[in-house]
Amino acid sequence: MIELTNVHKAFGPKHVLSGVDLNIAKGTSMVIIGGSGTGKSVLLKSVLGLIRPDSGTITLDGKDVAKGDRDAFLARFGMLFQGGALFDSLRVWENVAFRLRHGKQTLPKHEAREIAIEKLRRVGLKPDVADQFPAELSGGMQKRVGLARAIAAEPEIIFFDEPTTGLDPIMSGVINDLIREIVTEMGATAMTITHDMTSVRAIADNVAMLHGGKVRWSGPVADLDATDDPYVQQFIHGRAEGPIESVR
């Protein structure tokens, strides 16, 4: 469904992506792992067309993501940005229901609010959070509002950039289960970036590790532990010693 072929992206002299190849099949969950600053968020934003690669192709259902109707294209996606990217001046429920009110659909206020409250419940937030502003919430709560917003319009394709970072282990478990459910029950296609190996095992059908601007290793999650790739091994075991340098 999503196909990247030989994707390159540099910012000035800094080569971030240098020949990324990746395929994500419809209805599957791909998890991207890799060190901080290796270009995971850049990769995800490139698929959304928010960052334009210098060369290579990115297609969705065989069509170039940079061409065609942008609104129709983006309407198929739900996205949780790494930094949350909530609208400060909107209440929590208005953030969650934004797509339902201002997108293809324009639901009446009370209906949109009800859906927002239901989505908040799914990410473990009580209804009274709905009328608060993002600045009144903890970091982990803001992250969960971002997640609720990403899933609110029940998109076909969902991208999560660090969905469990900053959450306690129990809440991380709730979010992992939710992501898994969205893929298995709603048939969504998901791409998740995470450093959390528990999440990787809970969410992934397939895993790709980004290193040195390329996909260093990819395969089914069941093969992750068995691979003898020293980069993957160092990463999944969190070892300071290994081929991955700790000063980047």
Ligand X SMILES: Nc1ncnc2c1ncn2[C@@H]1O[C@H](COP(=O)(O)OP(=O)(O)OP(=O)(O)O)[C@@H](O)[C@H]1O
Which residues lie near ligand X (CB under 6 A)? 11, 14, 16, 34, 36-42, 82
Beta bridge partners of 36: none
CB of 79 to Mg ion, least distance (A): 13
Choose the binding region for Mg ion from 39-47, 84-92, 124-132, 220-228 (rule: CB under 5 A). 39-47
| 40/99 with CB nearer Mg ion | 40
Count of chain residues binding Mg ion (CB under 5 A): 3
| Six token digits for residue 92 | 């929590």
Choose the binding region for Mg ion from 77-85, 91-99, 123-131, 152-160 (rule: CB under 5 A). 77-85
| 11/87 with CB nearer ligand X | 11
**What's the angle, vertex CA 42, arms to CA 165 and CA 171, rounded to 5?**
15
Q: What is the dihedral of CA 193, 197, 201, 206, to 10 degrees?
A: 40
16 binds, among Mg ion, ligand X, none (CB under 5 to 8 A by kind): ligand X
Q: How far apart are CA 94 and CA 96, in angstroms?
A: 5
- Residues found in the chain: 248
Rule CB under 5 A: say whether 41 interacts with Mg ion: yes
CB of 146 to ligand X, least distance (A): 15
Q: How far apart are CA 162 and CA 85, in angstroms?
A: 13
- Residues 207-235 as b/e (b if ≥16 CB within 10 A, e otherwise) read bbbbbbbbbbbbeebeebeeeebebbbbb
117 binds, among ligand X, Mg ion, none (CB under 5 to 8 A by kind): none
Q: How far apart are CA 140 and CA 244, in angstroms?
A: 30
CB of 24 to ligand X, least distance (A): 17
Choose the binding region for Mg ion from 78-86, 92-100, 126-134, 200-208 (rule: CB under 5 A). 78-86
| 126/248 with CB nearer ligand X | 248
